[in-house]
Structure 1
């Protein structure tokens, strides 16, 4: 497959979608990476330009959805913190630590965790929304939760309590 003869078309389309030269270039690069990764889905004899344009479009839609989800999550957190009373210092530190850990998660884990844990989307709907199998969603969710627990020190407290038969509730 020779993508090079379609770069001009892809860049123009990406520029129309993003309205920004740098973001358009990033979009084309990400779309070409996805095309290379998904080359096995290409059917010989098909229209390569059409296939590449659809990948650019789907990549852009995914980015927009992800940005929207991130903004909504930030808005929810901001609204909750604005309406709440000033928390004790340790709660504020814990929240800040948890938010930093959430934002440091890989994007695929963060989007799953936000959809399920913050937005309350069902596992099936989240898997459908992200276009991934249910098992992949569950795996990403489990890894995201474990990473958050590890980053916030909760896994250590839970392990210590496990030997006593006590359950750690925060």
Structure 2
């Protein structure tokens, strides 16, 4: 039992950025993400002996986080939502235009309904399979596919939608 706790505790620092990015996707705020990561880490250490070794640790942690988020809707009051998901660890190899596009997409992800945000983040940004995502979120694969479809469709509309400008009171 102590060995399982130690293994999880030792792995958490290397997974912090991934956990925080997913937490931010769920909560939409920096403070909320910090709180959710803290709750997740505490629960993961306490529940380490319940983890199935066949499940990748990061997938199990996302599942613990999602369960915490579902059960902890009354997190402490948060600050105003920020306008984008933090860049963190995947910006170093991208060209400038790609980073701008990714930043724009991440901002738009925050405008999606929560259930779509989590699926789009896990499948689209983190690269998990539909099956892994379904297991982490405790939903069916068909639900993952439909939420992902709706989320991608909504993102596509948000990103491709030209901005309307007004000239002398006339919409263009």
Q: TM bucket by the smaller chain?
A: 0.3 to 0.5
**Bigger Rg over Cα:** 1
Q: TM-score under structure 1 normalisation?
A: 0.42
Q: TM-score under structure 2 normalisation?
A: 0.42
Relative contact order, CA 8 A, sep 6+: which one is greater?
Answer: 2
